[in-house]
Amino acid sequence: MKIHYWAGLFIVWMGIEACTVKEDRVAKLKNEVIAVHDEVMPKMGELRSNQKLLEAKQEELRETSADSSEIQLYRQAALACDEAYEGMFVWMRQFDSKLEGMDEEESLSYLQDQRVKVNQVNRDIKQALEDAEKLLER
């Protein structure tokens, strides 16, 4: 009788442990995706500020009849800042953090796709900031 008790208890424990491992994989991946977002979200104000500075410099150069290729550099950098800024909000609007109605495999697949997308947003923001800062230091 004791063997059946311990065997039953072991099976219940294994079931609970298996669910915990599954939840841990999903939670870990979800936390990873959110951490990438959280890394660059504080830079959104800086991104918008740089965009405005680049646009102002572009107008200043246009008024002084500067070289059109130089004006184009500022225009492209300002556009990259705007696209990176908008890219973050597009990603945030479509991200479903609740994962409602998804089983473990669907959740993992969804989060892996989201990790790719948010990493691209992260790279776009960092690159736009780096390019803007180089131009604004001139």
Residue at token pair 């609970």: 16
The model's pTM: 0.81
Residues 6+ apart with CB under 8 A from 99: 26, 30, 107, 110, 111
> Can you give the pLDDT of all 138 residues of the chain as single tens digits?
566 665 555 565 555 555 455 579 999 999 999 999 999 999 999 999 999 999 999 999 999 877 899 999 999 999 999 999 999 999 999 999 999 999 999 999 999 999 999 999 999 999 999 999 999 998
What is the DSSP track for 46-86?
A: HHHHHHHHHHHHHHHHHHTT--HHHHHHHHHHHHHHHHHHH
> Would you tell me how many other CB atoms lie within 10 Å of the CB of residue 24?
10
